[in-house]
């Protein structure tokens, strides 16, 4: 895809920062297609006949990053399907890239990102949200032990991606500690300024 054909925003932030919550609101108001890398991986894990099911299950439980070939292929397929079936060409790529090599690969072979929307939230608040959600989510990684591992991977591996984009001036940073509606208002405000419309 060329940037003239499609618009990609990467939506990043720690586990439980509220990426999915904010993406839903942006979809409601601005007709983006929301592609959560985590959701695509969980769907692939459960797809009968998938050769990656066990690998994905193990990585998610341990808060580790699935090899990027799998994730990039899922994202690229989902983008193609979306364009073919709906014509929508504006994508929120949620929870990806989580590692520097993934960022470089995606921008090389799929499409450069217009900008990175980064939700900034303290660990204690993210932990509180995830433990609360874990009571009903059924997610295999919403337990204290997996959450600890997810936080470590985020700090050691994923945050450096945000920092690299920030040095290029491509990050829109939003404080994610307020209520979802307040965070959304800040998101819209900052995105409008950054995108100039
Ligand atoms: N909530 C949200 N906003 C709130 C607010 N402002 N105030 C109070 N509560 C708020 O929100 C989390 C919870 O908090 C919800 O209950 C929500 O109601 C509440 P959510 O919007 O779901 O946050 P999000 O940032 O999307 O959290 P999520 O748990 O999805 O983040 P992760 O990044 O951990 O999960 P993801 O699904 O992206 O990845 C899971 C795993 O998949 C990774 O650990 C990894 O193993 C694997 N993965 C890869 O390997 N590669 C990838 O590219 C992507 C994932
Ligand atoms: Mg999510």
Q: What is the ipTM of this complex?
A: 0.99
Query: 63 among the known binding-site residues?
Result: no
pTM for the predicted model, two decimal places: 0.98
- What pLDDT, in 10s, does the model give residues 148-181? 999 999 999 999 999 999 999 999 999 999 999 9
Q: Mean pLDDT, to the nearest integer, of 138-151?
A: 97
- Contacts of residue 178, defined as CB under 8 A and 6 or more positions apart, other chains included, come to 186
The answer to whether residue 2 scores a pLDDT higher than 90 is: no
Q: Whose CA is nearest to atom 9 of ligand 1?
A: 129
The radius of gyration computed from the CA coordinates of the chain, to the nearest angstrom, equals 16
Establish whether residue 16 lines the binding site of ligand 1, counting it when its CB lies within 6 angstroms of any ligand atom: yes
Establish whether residue 20 lines the binding site of ligand 1, counting it when its CB lies within 6 angstroms of any ligand atom: yes
User: What structural domains and CATH numbers belong to the chain?
Assistant: 7-185 (3.40.50.300)
**C-alpha–C-alpha distance, residues 62 and 27, integer Å:** 30
């Amino acid at each position: 895809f060329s940037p003239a054909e499609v618009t990609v925003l990467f939506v990043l932030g720690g586990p439980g920062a509220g990426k999915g919550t904010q993406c839903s609101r942006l979809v409601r108001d601005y007709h983006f297609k929301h592609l959560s890398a985590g959701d695509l991986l969980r769907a692939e894990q459960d797809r009968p006949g998938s050769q990656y099911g066990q690998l994905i299950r193990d990585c998610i439980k341990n808060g580790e990053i699935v090899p990027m070939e799998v994730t990039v292929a899922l994202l690229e397929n989902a983008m193609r399907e979306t364009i073919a079936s709906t014509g929508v060409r504006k994508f929120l790529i949620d929870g990806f890239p989580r590692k520097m090599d993934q960022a470089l690969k995606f921008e090389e072979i799929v499409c450069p990102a217009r900008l990175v929307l980064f939700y900034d939230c303290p660990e204690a608040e993210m932990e509180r949200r995830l433990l609360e959600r874990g009571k009903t989510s059924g997610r295999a990684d919403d337990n204290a032990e997996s959450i600890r591992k997810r936080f470590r991977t985020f700090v050691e591996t994923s945050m450096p991606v945000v920092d690299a984009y920030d040095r290029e001036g491509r990050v829109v940073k939003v404080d994610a500690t307020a209520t979802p509606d307040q965070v959304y208002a800040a998101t819209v405000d900052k995105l409008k300024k950054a995108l100039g419309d």
